[in-house]
Chains A and B, each alone.
Chain A
Amino acid sequence: MLIIDKYSYTNNLKDYSPIAKFYFAIGLMLLAMIIDIKELYISVFLLNFLIITVLAKISVKKYIKILSIPMLFLILGIVPVFISLSKDSNNFIFVVNIWDIYIGITEEGINSSQILLLRALSSVSCTFFLILTTPMNDLIYVLKKHKLPNIVIEMMVLIYRFIFILLDETINIIVAQKLKLGYMDIRKSYKSISALIASLFIRVMNRYESLQYSLDARGFDRQFYM
């Protein structure tokens, strides 16, 4: 079971109007994207933090754990902004000279990486607020209300359903492999993973076939009605 999905169905705000939650999250996110004030980013992040942990009652520890995934990407992404390259040594606060290129940190680099980090964090917190407090099925309802093209909604519904089937199958295979000591060392792990992918593919094809039958049996006429 995906942890975010679990929270979206069990948190304290799950029954709160999905449309209100949607506009709240999107509104804050737009605000953070348009306006260039660090304090605003910080307050958006803190506001979402409080709502998620106090109102929605998701534990702080779990929330930080969930946040740590995008944080990793954020930090990796900020490194190139933080570090500047130049032909001359002006403007640098700290600099190393390699051959005739100066590598170091500038005032501007610090400033723009700060803004980037805070802006991304505040936007991410808006997204997390929405997906942690709103069940997927409610979200689909909101998108339908806003007249998103049917094909997109169909895909969302089907993908959402089948993620869990695929996940289930994967977990079953991994457990079976672990029981037979398939992940004892690196070599065996590589082998097990290749076997996992191969058998998943076969199972997916099998499922595809039986789903075709089942669609047929239930009078499918090339449209998934919502």
Chain B
Amino acid sequence: MVKTQGLCYIYEDGTKALKNINLNIDNHNIIGIVGANGSGKTTLFFNLMGLLKPSKGKVFLNGKEMKYNRKALKKIRKKIGIVFQDPDKQIFYSKVYDDVAFGPRNLGIGEEEVNKIVENALNMVDMVEFKDKPVHFLSYGQKKKVAIAGALAMNNDIILFDEPTAGLDPVGTENMINIIKKLSEKNKKIIISSHDMDMIYELCEYIYIMSKGEVIDEGIPTRIFMKESILKEAMLKEPWLVKIHKILGVPLCEKEEELKAFYIGKNNK
């Protein structure tokens, strides 16, 4: 699906934001990209979307090298969507419906079909009853959901989430995780950038760790989060499940439910 080869990106002011990134998301459905603030996650996303053109290296979409003319970019938009960190930067219309309909209308889809798409997208994020509400009456979490619906309405195969849980309350975070899970069940590829270690650990099948514009390690969560030195270099912390594994010696669980099941089994013995 998406692959990068020796991707480098240098900003106009000379900052090397990305250095030799090799990424391949073919074999996993939910991929996490973790790193501290300023490690290059968002720049990487913009390169994957074709919003920025790599200074060096290549991005491949479905095996073909990405091109940057108008026609090619339109095709890319149908394949990959993005949910930005700040929903206010993504929402243009003052009415929820119109904003979600923005993408499909840009693709030239007829009004009747657009209506269905918008209904579906709002349904996925539980926001149907806000259809006619003005955006500035919504809370941050609700705006975030509208932004996701806007991305869903594009019906992309791949959706990038930039810091999906940043600024959300615990329930909002849980809702977000459920939405992402639901999307993945519908065969969408998801790439998440975040430094919410617990969320990433439970949700992602494969993880890239970034530090100062480089991917310093990659692997499955249970393996990668055991490497203390790598986490330290990336200025990240261990997820709580890894912490209690290390401190209390309980088996390393992938999900909270596993841990519960382990204790229930132990008590029954």
Chain A interface residues (CB < 8 Å from chain B): 1, 5, 9, 135-137, 157-158, 160-161, 164-165, 207, 210-211, 213-221, 224-226
Contacts and interface: CB of A to CB of B under 8 A. Distances in A.
- Scoring A164, A218, A225 by chain B CB atoms within 10 A of each residue's CB, the highest score goes to A218
Contacts, number: 75
Contact of A214 (B78, B90, B107): B90
A7 B103 CA distance: 31
Given A160-B94, A214-B84, A219 B89 contact: no
Contact of B107 (A160, A161, A219): A219
A1 B89 contact: no
B195 to A, nearest CB: 20
B82 interface: yes
Q: How large is the interface on B (under 10, 10 to 19, 20 to 34, 35 or more residues)?
A: 20 to 34
A214 B91 CA distance: 9
A222 to B, nearest CB: 10
22 contacts: A1-B136, A9-B134, A136-B94, A136-B134, A137-B132, A157-B93, A158-B92, A160-B94, A210-B89, A211-B89, A213-B46, A213-B84, A216-B51, A217-B49, A217-B51, A218-B102, A218-B106, A219-B77, A221-B106, A225-B101, A225-B105, A225-B106
Contacts of B49: 217
B135 A161 contact: yes
A213 B77 CA distance: 12
A207 B134 contact: no
Interface of B: 46, 49, 51, 73-74, 77-78, 81-82, 84, 86, 88-95, 98, 101-103, 105-107, 132, 134-137, 150, 154
B91 A161 contact: yes
Q: Which 3 A-B pairs have the closest CB atoms?
A: A225-B105, A164-B136, A219-B77
A76 B212 CA distance: 62
Contacts of A135: 134
Contacts of A157: 92-94, 98
Contacts of B154: 218-219
- Interface SS, A side: helix
A133 to B, nearest CB: 15
A211 B82 CA distance: 13
Nearest to A216: B51
Contacts of B101: 225
Given A217-B82, A218-B77, A224 B92 contact: yes
Contacts of A220: 106
Nearest to A226: B98
B51 A213 contact: yes
A218 B103 contact: yes
B137 A9 contact: yes
Query: In this complex, which of A160, A161, A211, A224 has the most chain B Cβ atoms within 10 angstroms of its Cβ?
Result: A161
Given A158-B92, A220-B106, 14 more contacts: A9-B134, A137-B94, A137-B134, A157-B92, A157-B93, A157-B94, A161-B91, A161-B94, A207-B89, A218-B77, A218-B81, A218-B106, A219-B107, A225-B106
Contacts of A161: 91-94, 135-136
Contacts of B98: 157, 226
A221 B132 CA distance: 24
